[in-house]
């Protein structure tokens, strides 16, 4: 039996995307190379993958340091798994069956070469920041969540601006009126924050970016903060306001509520094929490689 860099693999797929055949091929290939394979429970329930043990994401951390999670899907699927597995340090390998592929960067057709290199110990290991936060109301925490991309505080009603006060490490930074505010990790800097006019942060940077959404005052610009700070956003206005973590976990806010955010002590761990480059990803996904025709 061939000795590999990982003894356990958990396969996770976006079952709505019809990836069962890919998962089955990967599972059979891994088993043939001496890797113990388990299928994430919801993936198994919605796919045709008989003959393999099933496991919940909460149980994956119990498999120890010799475990890798292989995710077949899009960036949304990868983000959801990363939120669950980041606290226990299990690394993720992403195989892209979606559209974007910023963090699921292996094409479906290339999975054999990528996983073969992975099992041989040839891969790039990358650690990315995770945001953790809570909503405090009348001195009591009423909601908590984590985000790999971003935390967004914005209006949940149809019209009107929200007024937000932002403190950094207990010191006032500004009060702004806008459609909302994005607090993004470097990973999230290429998501909603980029659409709202924020900068791209390289994933290795220890920083967080605050990006106003359609600010009422043009001088309220995006700002990059050190990763170690605590950010507190107080809801000044009494209009309909909400907060979401990676666009998945939501809470309704009231005037006087405070959203407290900080970088988590743990990291999300992503694995990439040998020679992977973040700049290659940017060129492909943002189409920096295209040469526009010159007009006469």
Domain ranges of the chain: 8-129+267-285, 131-263
Instruction: Show Cβ contacts of residue 51 under 8 Å, excluding neighbours closer than 6 positions.
Output: none
Strands 8-13 and 67-73: parallel
DSSP 3-state of 225:
strand
DSSP, collapsed to helix, strand or coil, labels residue 220 as coil
HSE (side-chain half, CA atoms, 13 Å) at 159: 0
What are the tens digits of pLDDT across the range 110-164? 999 999 999 999 999 999 999 999 999 999 999 999 999 999 999 887 677 899 9
Residues 210-257: pLDDT tens digits? 999 999 888 889 999 999 999 999 999 877 899 999 998 888 999 999
- Residues with catalytic function: 75
Q: Which two tokens stand for residue 256?
A: 């006087």
Q: Tens digits of per-residue pLDDT, 167-202?
A: 999 999 999 999 999 999 999 999 999 999 999 999
What secondary structure does DSSP assign to 238-252, as a single string? Answer: -S-EEEEETTTEEEE
What is the pTM assigned to this prediction?
0.91
Task: Determine the pLDDT at residue 263.
Answer: 97
Tell me, which fold does domain 8-129+267-285 have in CATH? Answer: Rossmann fold (3.40.50)
Domain range 131-263, its CATH number among 3.40.50.150, 3.90.420.10, 2.60.200.30, 1.20.1580.10 = 2.60.200.30
The reply to whether 8-129+267-285 and 131-263 are identical in fold is no
């Amino acid at each position: 039996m061939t000795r590999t860099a990982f003894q356990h693999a958990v396969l996770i797929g976006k079952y709505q995307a019809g990836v069962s055949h890919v998962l089955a091929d990967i599972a059979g290939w891994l088993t043939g190379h001496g890797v113990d394979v388990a299928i994430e429970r919801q993936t198994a329930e919605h796919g045709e993958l008989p003959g393999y043990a099933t496991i919940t994401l909460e149980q994956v951390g119990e498999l120890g340091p010799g475990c890798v999670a292989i995710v077949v899907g899009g960036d949304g699927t990868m983000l959801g798994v990363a939120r669950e597995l980041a606290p226990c340090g299990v690394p993720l390998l992403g195989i892209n069956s979606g559209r974007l592929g910023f963090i699921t960067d292996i094409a479906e057709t290339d999975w054999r070469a990528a996983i073969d290199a992975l099992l041989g110990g040839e891969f790039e290991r990358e650690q990315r920041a995770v945001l953790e936060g809570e909503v405090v109301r009348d001195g009591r925490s009423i909601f908590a969540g984590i985000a790999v991309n971003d935390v967004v505080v914005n209006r949940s009603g149809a019209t009107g601006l929200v007024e937000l006060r932002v403190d950094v490490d207990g010191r006032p930074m500004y009060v702004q009126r806008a459609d909302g505010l994005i607090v993004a990790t470097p990973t999230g800097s290429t998501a909603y924050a980029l659409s709202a006019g924020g900068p791209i942060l390289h994933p290795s940077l220890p920083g967080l970016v605050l990006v106003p959404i359609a600010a009422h005052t043009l001088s309220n610009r995006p700002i990059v903060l050190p990763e170690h700070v605590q950010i507190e956003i107080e809801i000044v206005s009494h209009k309909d306001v909400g907060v979401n973590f990676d666009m998945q976990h939501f809470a309704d806010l009231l005037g006087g509520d405070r959203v407290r955010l900080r970088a988590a002590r743990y990291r999300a761990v992503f694995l990439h094929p040998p020679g992977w480059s973040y700049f290659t990803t940017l060129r492909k996904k943002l189409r920096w490689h295209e040469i526009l025709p010159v007009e006469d």
